[in-house]
Chains A and B, each alone.
Chain A
Amino acid sequence: NAGVTQTPKFQVLKTGQSMTLQCAQDMNHEYMSWYRQDPGMGLRLIHYSVGAGITDQGEVPNGYNVSRSTTEDFPLRLLSAAPSQTSVYFCASSKQGQALNTGELFFGEGSRLTVL
């Protein structure tokens, strides 16, 4: 019962470095998304995908890239990390049309990123 798996769980970067947060799900979910969680701001949507080969921007996409080459994987790339990207990142997935799109998301355990 792996569900949604995120790696790494913790990462420290220097300003300007690049990195990729990995997200994989084994539930054959069409919909996948990335959120960032900051104190006092809840979770905000960065990017999402409704299926392989299809991605779109969420509320706070600047500084992040995504791709969806397979149904299972949805990596989030930071090309040039900035201190403002220090946050906890969550990947979430759901089956398209699940219970008529009732919105229940399955979350990973989060990745804490610190940019110095």
Chain B
Amino acid sequence: AQTVTQSQPEMSVQEAETVTLSCTYDTSENNYYLFWYKQPPSRQMILVIRQEAYKQQNATENRFSVNFQKAAKSFSLKISDSQLGDTAMYFCAFMKPDSGAQKLVFGQGTRLTINP
């Protein structure tokens, strides 16, 4: 079974700083997907960024980028120029392709606070 580990329960940075959230995972699969989801205080889960394991290039979405190290099974999220609205729980998630069933395995989450 796959496992996802987020070793940082909480992080706090000043507005405009850059912050990196860590995620490691364990799998024997070669083809899979990795995700970062954001959960603000409203509880709504929002997809931040997605990475396909077969792609060597790291995914980027505006201020959000990942450092995907397949051999090390590491998938960190970097938030540049952090904003107050980035304050949220962040979850790393793993999924192996399965016909029709998109079963995600989530990490424990990292609570990120952006201070003014």
Partners in one complex: yes
Residues of A within 8 A of B (CB): 30-31, 33, 35, 40-45, 48, 50-51, 56, 58, 88, 90, 92, 94, 96-97, 100-105, 107, 109-110
Chain B residues whose CB sits within 8 angstroms of the CB of A35 once the complex forms: 106
Q: How far is the CA of A107 from the CA of B42 in the complex (A)?
A: 12
**In chain B, residues 43-57, which have Cβ atoms closer than 8 Å to a Cβ of chain A?**
43-45, 47, 50, 52
Given A42-B106, A104-B47, is A97 in contact with B9 using a C-beta cutoff of 8 Å?
no
- B108 adjacent to A42 (CB under 8 Å): yes
If A42-B91, A90-B45, A103-B33 touch, whether A30 touches B100 (CB-CB below 8 Å) is yes
Q: Is the CB of B109 within 8 A of A102?
A: no
User: Across the interface, do B100 and A45 meet the contact criterion of CB distance under 8 Å?
Assistant: no
Q: Which residue of A lies closest to B35 (CB)?
A: A103
Instruction: Write out, one digit per residue, whether chain B residues 75-116 have a CB within 8 A of any chain A CB (1) or not (0).
Output: 000000000000000010101011111111111110000000
Nearest-Cβ distance from residue B105 to partner chain A, whole angstroms: 8
The answer for the CA separation of A105 and B105 in the assembled complex, in Å, is 12
Contact A40 B108 (CB under 8 A): yes
Q: Is the CB of B100 within 8 A of A97?
A: yes
With A40-B9, A104-B50 known as contacts, the answer to whether A48 contacts B103 (CB < 8 A) is yes
Binding site for A on B (CB under 8 A): 4, 6, 9, 33, 35, 42-45, 47, 50, 52, 91, 93, 95, 97-109
**Cβ contacts under 8 Å, B105 to chain A:** 45
Residues of A within 8 A of B101 (CB): 31, 48, 50, 56
B52 x A102 contact (CB < 8 A): yes
Cα–Cα, bound, A58→B9 (Å): 25
The answer to whether B45 and A31 touch across the interface, beta carbons within 8 angstroms, is no
Do B50 and A42 touch across chains, with their CB atoms under 8 A apart? no
Least CB distance, B52 to chain A, in whole angstroms: 7
In the complex, chain B residues whose CB is within 8 Å of the CB of A94: 102
Interchain CB contact under 8 A, A41 and B100: no
**Contact of A101 with B43 at beta-carbon distance under 8 Å, contacts A33-B103, A42-B108, A42-B109 already known:** no
Count chain A CB atoms within 10 A of each CB in B44, B93, B102, B106 and give the residue with the most. B102
- Kindly report which residue of chain B lies nearest to residue A44, judged by CB atoms: B106
